[in-house]
Amino acid sequence: MRLPSLRARIFIALIFLMLVASLLIAGVTIFQYSEQSNAYHEQRLERKENQLKKQIDYLLQDAVLEVTPHNSAAIFEPHMQQTADVLNINFRIYSLTGVLLSSTQFMEAAPVQELTTTLLEQLESNPSNRLIDVSTTDGIRMRSSYFYVFDTKGLPLAILNVPYFDDDSLSSLELNAFLFRLVQVYVIMLIIAIILAFFVSSYITQSLETISAKLNQTKLAKLNTKIELTKASKEISALVDAYNHMVDELEQSAIELAKSQREAAWREMAKQVAHEIKNPLTPMRLSIQHFEQQVAKGTSEWKSYVHEFSQTLIQQIDTMSAIASAFSQFATMPMDQSTRINVTETVNRALELYKDAPLALDAAETYFAQLDSTQLVRIVNNLMSNAIDACAEVPEPYIHVRLHGDKKWIYFSVEDNGRGISEALHERIFEPTFTTKTSGMGLGLSMVKSIVETYGGTVQFESKPDIATRFEVRLPRIN
């Protein structure tokens, strides 16, 4: 699975951070409102308790009779409703054993059970003599506060219960209004963040894209340019310096490689030249030795060998001259003296030399190219010469030459039904001095490839041994 681009990942990361920050701030805001609301209700309940305690203390101080746990309900009962109305507090009074003694009028409508033993034990064990029981009914949270009422001597008289309902309606309205404004602000910030994230990701990856493009263009056998970036970050500058250093090393390696290749090529060339020149020298030497022997014998027939000797020397000298010419052409070509030429006319003129060959020509349309006509003739001659040699032992030889093109290229192909080229030799077929023939220097196809590539073209071939071999040259077309 292919990962998203670095630009996309930076863009997504920035937007993701923005959204996470928005959610965190919203979460913290809700939590803060909840904590504030809880603290408010706790403090409000505690204030109500303190007010109720003070009112009860006044009642105890004004009581005529001594207040005990048994008569506490009778003493508090006449004043409960008045206290509830003045203080705006509803409350209940329980005995020390948890039995309901009295309650305000508002609270009598609801059935109330006795206090559980567990609750009484928790209240008794609490050092503050106060217990808060929190419960939720129909989504409304209620806090029930239980605490002891003490007489003037500090002895417990009864248990007071103050129920309190958490009313968060106002707080919820404030929270919703704040969150709505926060969402509006964050929508605007998100749009700004998207724009900034796009430009930031583009700025960060622009230098990397420049480096990537340069790396894709970097070749050992060509002149590579260095990267020059201004106002780049420290990390990008380090990458650029590493690339520029690599370019320097590649340039040095290319020089050394070219030098090594040239030396190897000249060594191979020297060996081939020596071998090719050596071949005609041997029969020349033998002819001279034989001629000397005949002269030394003094026979009258030695004069008859002069003509044969002369013909042998001339033939071998011609061979050496052909070798020298071939190597001279290979060493000096191609000379890029291109002009606008009629390719169709040039090919037809070159093929006139092969009228006796089993040739079929398909070149009806006229094509033009920026070439050296002499070099194009060399291409035709080399391909035709190879095709004729390949068909030498074929009972019914044929050579099909085709010239066609499209809007951009001209295609020139030579196909024959000769012996072909085995697959094992495909990689070496364009090497200098390599040949599959018993004669020749093996420079023809190498020369064709060099000429074609000089003019921005390509040459390729396909071959099925003993069936057909086809060489195709592709050259740039002009109008």
What local confidence, expressed as pLDDT, does residue 330 receive? 54
Between CA 359 and CA 416 the distance in angstroms is 9
The bridge status of strand 140-150 relative to strand 156-165 is: antiparallel
- Strands (E) in 36-103, as ranges, are 92-94, 100-103
Q: Does domain 6-172 have CATH number 3.30.450.20?
A: yes
**Which residues neighbour 144 within 8 Å (Cβ) at sequence distance 6 or greater?**
132, 133, 134, 135, 161, 162, 163, 164
**Which residues neighbour 286 within 8 Å (Cβ) at sequence distance 6 or greater?**
none
pLDDT tens digit at each of 479 positions of the chain = 566 766 777 778 878 888 888 888 888 888 888 888 888 888 888 888 888 888 888 887 777 677 787 787 777 778 888 888 888 888 888 888 888 888 885 555 555 667 888 888 888 888 888 888 888 777 777 888 898 888 878 888 888 888 888 777 777 787 788 888 888 888 888 888 888 878 777 776 776 677 667 666 666 555 667 766 666 666 667 777 777 777 777 777 777 776 676 666 666 666 666 666 666 666 677 667 776 776 677 655 656 666 666 766 776 676 666 666 656 655 555 555 678 999 999 998 888 888 888 889 998 789 999 988 888 888 888 898 888 888 888 888 999 999 999 989 999 999 999 888 888 787 777 776 556 554 554 567 878 888 888 888 999 999 888 889 999 999 999 98
The bridge status of strand 156-165 relative to strand 92-94 is: antiparallel
What local confidence, expressed as pLDDT, does residue 89 receive? 83
What local confidence, expressed as pLDDT, does residue 411 receive? 95
What local confidence, expressed as pLDDT, does residue 324 receive? 65
What local confidence, expressed as pLDDT, does residue 113 receive? 65
Closest CA to 239 of 251, 224, 226: 226
What local confidence, expressed as pLDDT, does residue 339 receive? 87
DSSP 3-state of 340: strand
What local confidence, expressed as pLDDT, does residue 110 receive? 53
Q: Where are the domains of the chain?
A: 6-172, 234-331, 334-476
Measured at the CA of 257, the angle between CA 252 and CA 263, to 5 degrees, comes to: 130
For the domain spanning 334-476, the CATH number is 3.30.565.10
Q: How many CA atoms lie within 13 A of 273 on its CB side?
A: 14
